[in-house]
Structure 1
Amino acid sequence: MPSNPPLVPRVRTRGRLAVGALVTALFGQLLAGTAVAAPAAETLSPGHIAWKPCASPSGQGTFECATLKVPVDWKRPRGATVDLALARHRATDPERRIGSLLINPGGPGGSGVDFAFSAPESFSPDLLARFDIVGFDPRGVGLSNPVKCDADRVKAQEALIYPDSASSFAALREANRALGESCRDLTGPLVDHMDTGSVVRDMEAIRAGLGERRISYYGVSYGTAIGQQYAERYPHRVRAMTLDSNMDHSLGRWGFQKTEAAAVEESYGQFADWCARTASCALHGRDTRALFDSLYKRADAGDLVLPGDPPQTVAPQDLQSAALSYMYDPASWFDFARLLTELDASAPAAARSLRTYGEPTEFPFYPVMCQDYDFGVSSYATLARFERELARRAPVTRFSPLGWTVQTGCQNWPTEVTNPQRRLRVDGTPPILMTNSRYDPATPHSWGANAARQIGREAVLLTYDGVGHGDYWLSPCARDAIDTYLLTLKTPRKGTHCPAVWPTGPSAQRQSPAGGLVNPLPDLLGTGTYGRTA
């Protein structure tokens, strides 16, 4: 989360315009895309990538860009293809170059091309010296034929994403199907092949195209799902792999919901405790948990507004989404405390509409998640039972809007669940370094611990004892461990903990405590717009 994250209305554009922005944290601002290519005349030959010089938006660093053609459907390699967009930052010390480090920022929906462009500011000088940093936009994202859906359908789904009755649940199911069908109509057959298994095959084609016998990889958030499943399918192609803020692809409906709800509740609790001991927090001396409960009840009654010209009415889910967003990086907590103070002092006002309709909008989140997770429920009664139990377990924040909308948004989605939940089976890789914050609002620590248990002896789990998402930019200790491992293959001891880092003053920069590096995730994942994703 940036030090100046968006106020509630930007999060509120939720749909995928904001649930997407919101849920696209896992679990960005995407670039313009290219069209699906005509069917290939011959079998792909992934042994060559034609790089050309290109410039990053900031003008920093030496970059090359390219595209790589891969099948839309890997079961039909001679069929339609899609061009994957790639960017790489060349190693600054080529004589000591180790190889290529593939990176992915998560989402689903984060741009790996933009992630690579951020490398000069976001990765340590040691990594920049020894690796070519290579980012790619996954299929359906950014410059890799972005999934587009009808904005009318996105907004229709957004209005129903929190059903409160059997009839609204039935309407949501219809809206989800209509949205998914619009994505297929506007994008083509790629929409039916957005699962992580297909992305893993794409990544192997990139490895071959780079000419690397084995690849090094750093993935954060949803990027850990790509890494986990790559290690499972191609264990002998891994040189080193760091998985930061881990997904757990083994969880069923209830396991996913309860762990997500607990993660947001515990993270907000850490924020409340920090305010209690930090005199410069705008809420110092107040019961910050009770304040959130009060604001939630006002929002539920339609009496909570965001100050502005004109002011905007805040829904309960907007408040929850803002809380989730601000937990991504404690550097934003001074701003969050001020926002809650302003909301508490506000008076009722009429809502303002910011909606536009009908235009195609980039929307990759559900096409991926709904092919990776089977979260179907039989009735609204099941959802209502989940909601009551989550509120009992998380009495302040009640549930995770990220976890909840993944489930509700996938009900009756028209594409097949081609990569459903299952336990990982990894065998034959070198040691894999996994890191997780103890209080991660999007990918709970329990997910990292469970994924590490599934991987087994190859996994080394490091715990950062603070709050946030993306340990590399939150903890100098975690960053040093990751750098050391990627450079030397030396892992920390299993069970290693890194101490929490707490904000000591507001900052206008998104500078992390990890060596002055800039945390790129808020912009890449939409937390600059949230966290949509994991």
Structure 2
Amino acid sequence: MHSLRLRALALGATAALGLGLTTTATAAPTTAQADTTATAWKPSENSKLNKVATPRLSWFSCYGGARCANAKVPLDYDKPAGTKTNVAVLRLPATGKRIGTLFVNPGGPGGSSTEMAYFADQWLSPEVRAKFDVVGVDPRGVGFSDHVQCLPVEDQDTVFSKVSSAFPVGWTQEQRWIQGMKKISRACSTNALATSMSTAEVARDMEMVRRAIGDGPLSYLGFSYGSHLGTTYANMFPGNFRSIVIDGTLSPTSWSGTAWNQSLPLERRLRSGVGAHKALDKILTECGKAGPDRCSFATGGDPKKKYAAMTASLKKEPAVITDPYTGEEMTLTYADLVGTVLSGLYDPEAPMLVDFMLSDIEWMIGQSQGAAARRAGGHQVDQRTITAIKQADQAPRRAFAYDNSLDAFLSVTCTDSRETTKIADYPAYAKQQETKAPGFGPLWLWGSAGCAGDSFTGQDEDAYVGPYDKVSPKGVLIVGNYWDPATNYDGAVQTRNTLGRSRLISSDSWGHTAYGVSQCVTTRVDRYLVSGASPSSDATCPAESEPFPATEEPVEETVQQLLATKSLPKAARGQGFPAPTVVR
């Protein structure tokens, strides 16, 4: 992904319920308890979609081994004969005796589902690949579907220059950030596609594609923000799915807002910064226990005290460091440090990655300050540290002439989220978040500042904002990772307590999401997808490796890490998606 800030946006916001108060994960209710409080299902969404003609999918061979199609769906499902929008669909055939179709979504909002489906062989278990065709539907406005564009091309660089750091620090930067976010969010508020991009619309589109494929009830696997799509679909169409798995789970009531929490900014409701701070605190604690032989940052003192001193110093004055590979001088700010550390926390090997990042930064700062660090001699800076620092303040760029990643993020997030805040109050919120979760709280807060009530005013009238406790014939399988720095584990617990019928797998693993990283999680998810039978009880998956092992063992990439380096290959004319139509 482009800048570190937008990497955070693209991987989704985070999760936990509650009026800005700290919440504690509690035991989930029994099925009986959940069902007695759940809301009875009324098939209103099916009735609405029954009035819409099922799109015809004209499949064609694409990208070598896949099948592609474009589906025309109503921009507004209340007007089925009105303006249409195009959504791109990619289908990868099952490798064995198929039992159905598995829909996938990588999160974001703004991630490409067609790319995720295309690369399924690289992240999905062979057992699941054998049984399912894998289908990705690029959400409206995203990927190869019609593109949302809120700003004129000539204005984009100017606006992005105001919001290109990990997060703003100080009055001047904050005011620039507010100006930039206002500009783009207000432009999105008047874009017809942007104001029709709520998760509910994406769920309706996915349902129309499911009907067009004609393959029976939906099977679905969604990550990060894709968890909210799964939760929303389960409540809008509770009788239409066979199996839904959500990993890196968002609390739906925190994401969409309620009458009692809409006066709070999105990050206060989701508490992703708290999750990231918790993960870093755990790593620094374990680093101290492991000692210098296994954790380099423990050399010379308590890792927690050393990190606190480093952040305090950078808050006072940025450091000028040198890229040892190119000789280029770089300015390292407090925001750069936090953004760099957050990128490390996304990794399944987060303890070791954060260790060498902090050790590298400590050494480079020392080199710039004089002889004390020079005596350390042969320290080898990892290239990943340099890359992460440089990405922390880069303006985003995609393959298209206009990068619509921020447009797409705001169009989905802000049409979903009910928020009555004022963007001028965000500096005060940032101070509060700095106290709750130093660095990470402000980073996540400012990322969604465009959703302030007086900034984004184009909420989708057909957005789904609950209730989220509909009873469904089949259960949803929820995955939550204790140390996830983006989707706070509390969100998985809250979702388990809310959904009418569900089960929770809790994973003691590092990084963002757990499928493909924890073998325990992967095995349980695969079993549920293939069998279609909900687990009889919740489960806990223990840690499968030490934070700082004596000998390094290979760890799989998360699904998001793999997809961040992938894109659909170039295709001959007629064997790939056409350039998406841009909706200005």
Q: Same fold (TM over 0.5)?
A: yes
- Count residues with an aligned counterpart: 478
State the one-letter code of the partner of 1:262.
Answer: V
Matched, 1:131 2:167: no
Residues 73-113 of structure 1: per-residue CA shift (max 9 Å, x gap)? 2222222222211212211113xx21100000101011111
Question: Which of 214, 220, 227 is the equivalent residue of 2:230?
Answer: 227
Matched, 1:296 2:311: yes
Structure 2 gaps of 5+ residues are 14-50, 255-260, 370-388, 568-584
Indicate the residue corresponding to 2:297 in structure 1.
283
Alpha-carbon contact 1:438-1:466 (below 8 Å) kept: yes
Alignment of 1:453-472 (within 5 A): 453-456=497-500, 458-472=501-515
> Which deviates the most, 44-53 or 353-362?
353-362
Q: Secondary structure of the residue that 2:110 maps to in structure 1? A: coil
Matched, 1:19 2:5: yes
State the one-letter code of the partner of 2:328.
Answer: P
Matched, 1:311 2:329: yes
Cα distance in 2, alignment partners of residues 22 and 299 from structure 1:
22
Indicate the residue corresponding to 1:520 in structure 2.
559
Matched, 1:74 2:64: no
Q: Secondary structure of the residue that 1:226 maps to in structure 2? A: helix
Indicate the residue corresponding to 1:484 in structure 2.
527
Cα distance in 2, alignment partners of residues 211 and 193 from structure 1:
26
Alpha-carbon contact 1:295-1:304 (below 8 Å) kept: no
Q: Secondary structure of the residue that 2:296 maps to in structure 1? A: coil
Structure 1 gaps of 5+ residues are 1-9, 28-42, 57-61, 513-517, 529-534
Cα distance in 1, alignment partners of residues 148 and 455 from structure 2:
15
Residues 314-344 of structure 1: per-residue CA shift (max 9 Å, x gap)? 2222222222221122325433322211211
TM-score, structure 2 as length reference: 0.74
Q: Secondary structure of the residue that 2:515 maps to in structure 1? A: helix
Residues 151-195 of structure 1: per-residue CA shift (max 9 Å, x gap)? 322222446963744x8766544432322355578xx52122111
CA shift in 2, pair 1:232/1:26, >3 Å: same
Q: Secondary structure of the residue that 2:111 maps to in structure 1? A: coil
Cα distance in 1, alignment partners of residues 396 and 277 from structure 2:
33
Cα distance in 2, alignment partners of residues 21 and 409 from structure 1:
18
Alpha-carbon contact 1:161-1:408 (below 8 Å) kept: no
TM-score, structure 1 as length reference: 0.80
State the one-letter code of the partner of 2:8.
Answer: L
Question: Which of 433, 436, 440 is the equivalent residue of 2:480?
Answer: 436
Q: Secondary structure of the residue that 1:360 maps to in structure 2? A: coil
Q: Secondary structure of the residue that 1:346 maps to in structure 2? A: helix
Alignment of 1:86-485 (within 5 A): 86-94=89-97, 97-148=98-149, 149=151, 150-158=156-164, 162=168, 164-165=170-171, 172-182=177-187, 189-251=192-254, 252=261, 253=264, 256-257=267-268, 259-278=271-290, 279-285=293-299, 286-305=301-320, 307-308=322-323, 309-347=327-365, 360-363=402-405, 364-378=408-422, 380=424, 382-394=425-437, 397=439, 399=441, 401-407=443-449, 410=452, 412-418=454-460, 419=463, 422-456=466-500, 458-485=501-528
Cα distance in 1, alignment partners of residues 340 and 466 from structure 2:
31
Q: Secondary structure of the residue that 2:86 maps to in structure 1? A: strand
CA shift in 2, pair 1:413/1:429, >3 Å: farther
Cα distance in 2, alignment partners of residues 420 and 173 from structure 1:
28
CA shift in 2, pair 1:378/1:414, >3 Å: closer
Cα distance in 2, alignment partners of residues 356 and 245 from structure 1:
24
Q: CA deviation at 1:450?
A: 0.7
Cα distance in 1, alignment partners of residues 204 and 72 from structure 2:
12
Q: Secondary structure of the residue that 1:75 maps to in structure 2? A: coil
Indicate the residue corresponding to 1:500 in structure 2.
543
> Which deviates the most, 254-263 or 362-371?
254-263
Cα distance in 2, alignment partners of residues 466 and 48 from structure 1:
43
Cα distance in 2, alignment partners of residues 423 and 157 from structure 1:
35
Alpha-carbon contact 2:410-2:451 (below 8 Å) kept: yes
What is the percentage of aligned positions where both structures have the same residue? 23
Cα distance in 1, alignment partners of residues 160 and 185 from structure 2:
9
Cα distance in 1, alignment partners of residues 481 and 95 from structure 2:
31
Cα distance in 2, alignment partners of residues 306 and 427 from structure 1:
57
Residues 346-387 of structure 1: per-residue CA shift (max 9 Å, x gap)? 2469x999669996322211121111113342475x545533
Alpha-carbon contact 1:89-1:134 (below 8 Å) kept: yes
